[in-house]
Amino acid sequence: MRRVIAQGTFDILHPGHVHYLSDAAAMGDELHVIVARAANVTHKPRPILSDQQRTDMVAALDVVDEAHLGHPDDIFVPIEEIAPDVIVLGYDQHHEEAAIESALAERGIDCEVARASPRDPSHDDELLSSGRIIDRIVERRC
């Protein structure tokens, strides 16, 4: 059985998230998703939705076998516990494959690192970013 990990913030689920997780699920037999804790999100604004709510939403998706809340201190702890064959990064995630591979090797974790394909917007007005969705809400409601 080929075990796959996908990870992300997943604040306000959108078609880009569904595409990423579907693409990741197609790379194996079992998809585990690690949802970042809000306290650990440092590369963009903190999530609007709570850790538990984001984890519950991801867990409800059919392509996801298990959703896990990330470790409070060490992002590699859940990876060690799940023991994946492949970690799939989102198409536009800020992570560098080589840096992830190096960190995994240092910890003795033997798995492949892949990147999901991009999703082509189905129409000109499709939003594939939680931040852009939030901006649109603020623009239209404030």
Task: Say whether 76 counts as a known binding-site residue.
Answer: no
Q: What are the φ/ψ torsions at residue 55 (nearest 5 degrees)?
A: -65, -45
Task: Say whether 72 counts as a known binding-site residue.
Answer: no
Task: Say whether 92 counts as a known binding-site residue.
Answer: yes
DSSP string, the chain: --EEEEEE---S--HHHHHHHHHHHTTSSEEEEEEPPGGG--SSPPPSS-HHHHHHHHHTSTT-SEEEEPPSS-TTHHHHHH--SEEEE-TT-S--HHHHHHHHHHTT---EEEEPPPPPPSSTT----HHHHHHHHHHHH-
The answer to whether 28 and 108 are in contact (CB under 8 A) is: no
Task: Say whether 10 counts as a known binding-site residue.
Answer: yes
Task: Say whether 17 counts as a known binding-site residue.
Answer: yes
Q: Which of 64, 89, 62 is nearest to 75 (CA)?
A: 89
Annotated binding site for ATP: 9-10, 14-17, 92
Annotated binding site: 9-10, 14-17, 92
